[in-house]
Structure 1
């Protein structure tokens, strides 16, 4: 997380001048097929600060168990219609 914070601090641009404080949340809907997701499943997350702007990588190939925690991973419901 510290490396990510350093990376965000390094972002530059006229629209970011003096605006490096704030907060955000990540919403995620998930369902599983069979016994999934795999213990080593990964996901990438992107962020943008302007609806018309480009997405920037926030986390790349982060292990879902690290992002969500094992308790949340265990509670992911089956996908509708999944067998």
Structure 2
């Protein structure tokens, strides 16, 4: 039938808790991006009018900002003005 050699793929599958590490496998280290993920993963949910939502999203898009970036900038400025 086929003259191809079969490839042994047994080392590619691991059972949970029984994984084997190789010497050339890079290790995971805690870096700045992982710390930022921990800081920036809290949801903030509230309702606003559809007009405000549209204006907020349009302003953020026209100034190349993410919605959460705009919210932080606005709140920081509000806090600064009302101390």
Structure with the higher fraction of residues in helix conformation: 2
Same fold (TM over 0.5): no
Give the TM-score of the pair, scaled to structure 2.
0.21
Give the TM-score of the pair, scaled to structure 1.
0.21
Structure with the higher fraction of residues in strand conformation: 1
Higher RCO structure (Cα 8 Å, ≥6 apart):
1
